[in-house]
């Protein structure tokens, strides 16, 4: 029977369409992106083409050259040189396009796939995220920082070279504010973090857990919005990503490798988006918000009902999806 499930973190309802559900393997990508070369002369992110980017903000280097670079986006959605001001015209409000938009060039190899980054490579990237998050939030005009990676053309990437982005805004996005409101209401009513409670119940039930270690848990939530939509939660309560410790970075690197390799082999390298969700920058650490990483494989299409209602139809059972990924066999040596 079809059922409706509620996402406890957002209070949104999801239709789990069991009568229309596909078997997990049926979501495997049938159309792969064209293979890329190891080096591209026209790619601004390749080694030797550093002059094609704006001056780097920071980098991680070794004796043979750079491993990770951070550069301002050449075509930014928002720019730090723009005036930080707003105006009202009747009930219409607007702001100048102030903000920060950076690109994290994750690897010097043009065709490297994130699923096959080494654990050390992921650790470098996660440290860069932490450093840039900490530095950008010092600007009191910034209210929200979103760190995200688009993998594959279906996920919105326009440059094949592996990279992620950091976009800092002078306003709190509505989706972030909604989660804050739900979390604060739950805390006021129950004296507990709703994220910690959700994680506690998922770990006790185990049906939707993909990987559970000392510092993190990877799972497909009870009311997943779409097939294989997953969360990676820090088990320790932390409200801001820049609170992540070195031990946690090592553990989170393991989770990313574990999950992305299962996506690659189990669903034939699907496009996906991942986002780090953290508190607004002006918020001090608190007891009711909890940062986490969300990964959304692009294995289905958002259609009219979702756009018209804001309610999603998930045609994959979260429990079956989690079991499928747990059982994916990873070839030796990867």
- Supply the Cα-derived Rg of the chain in whole angstroms: 20
For residue 230, pLDDT over 90 is answered with: yes
Written as six digits, the tokens of 263 are: 């996506």
Region 220-246: mean pLDDT is 97
Written as six digits, the tokens of 221 are: 């939530």
Nearest to 162 by CA among 296, 43, 28: 43
Q: Judge whether 60 and 78 are in contact, CB under 8 Å.
A: no
Q: Give the separation between CA 159 and CA 82, rounded to whole angstroms.
A: 26
Mean pLDDT (the chain, rounded): 93
Q: Give the separation between CA 285 and CA 127, rounded to whole angstroms.
A: 20
What is the predicted pLDDT for the residue at 20? 67
Nearest to 102 by CA among 66, 65, 60, 55: 55
Percent of the chain with pLDDT over 70: 96
At 10-53, the pLDDT tens digits run 999 999 987 766 667 677 766 556 667 889 999 999 999 999 99
Q: How confident is the model at residue 120 (pLDDT cuts 50, 70, 90)?
A: very high
**Sheet strands side by side (includes 144-151):** 58-62, 65-72, 100-105, 163-169, 144-151, 272-277, 292-297, 230-234, 216-219, 209-212
**Sheet strands side by side (includes 3-6):** 3-6, 13-16, 312-314
Percent of the chain with pLDDT over 90: 81
Active centre residues (catalytic):
163
Domains of the chain and any CATH numbers: 3-82+93-327 (3.30.428.10)
């Amino acid at each position: 029977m079809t059922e409706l499930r509620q996402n406890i973190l957002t209070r949104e309802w999801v239709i789990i369409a069991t009568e229309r559900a596909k078997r997990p393997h049926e979501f495997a990508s049938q159309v792969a992106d064209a293979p890329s070369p190891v080096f591209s002369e026209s790619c601004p992110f390749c080694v030797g083409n550093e002059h094609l980017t704006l001056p780097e903000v920071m980098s991680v280097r070794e004796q043979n050259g750079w491993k990770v670079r951070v550069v301002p986006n050449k075509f930014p959605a928002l720019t730090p040189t723009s005036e930080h001001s707003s105006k009202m015209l009747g009930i219409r409000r607007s702001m100048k396009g102030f903000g920060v938009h950076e690109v994290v060039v994750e690897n010097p190899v043009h065709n490297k796939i994130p699923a096959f980054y080494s654990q050390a490579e992921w650790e470098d990237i996660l440290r860069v995220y932490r450093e840039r998050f900490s530095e950008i939030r010092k600007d009191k005009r910034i209210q929200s920082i979103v760190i995200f990676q688009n993998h594959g053309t279906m996920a919105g990437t326009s440059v094949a070279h592996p990279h992620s982005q950091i976009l800092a805004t002078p306003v709190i996005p509505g989706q972030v504010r909604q989660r804050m409101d739900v979390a604060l209401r739950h805390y006021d009513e129950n004296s507990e973090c709703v994220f910690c409670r959700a994680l506690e119940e998922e770990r006790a039930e185990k049906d939707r857990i993909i990987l559970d270690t000392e510092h993190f848990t990877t799972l497909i939530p009870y009311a997943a919005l779409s097939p294989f939509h997953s969360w990676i939660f820090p088990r320790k309560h932390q409200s801001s990503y820049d609170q992540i410790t070195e031990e946690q970075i090592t553990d989170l690197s393991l989770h990313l490798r574990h999950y992305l390799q299962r996506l690659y082999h189990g669903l034939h390298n699907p496009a996906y988006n991942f986002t780090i969700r953290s508190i607004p920058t002006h918020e001090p650490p608190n007891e009711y918000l909890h940062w986490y990483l969300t990964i959304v494989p692009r294995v289905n299409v958002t259609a009219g009902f979702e756009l018209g209602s804001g309610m999603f139809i998930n045609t994959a059972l979260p429990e079956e999806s989690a079991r499928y990924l747990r059982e994916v066999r990873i070839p030796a040596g990867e």
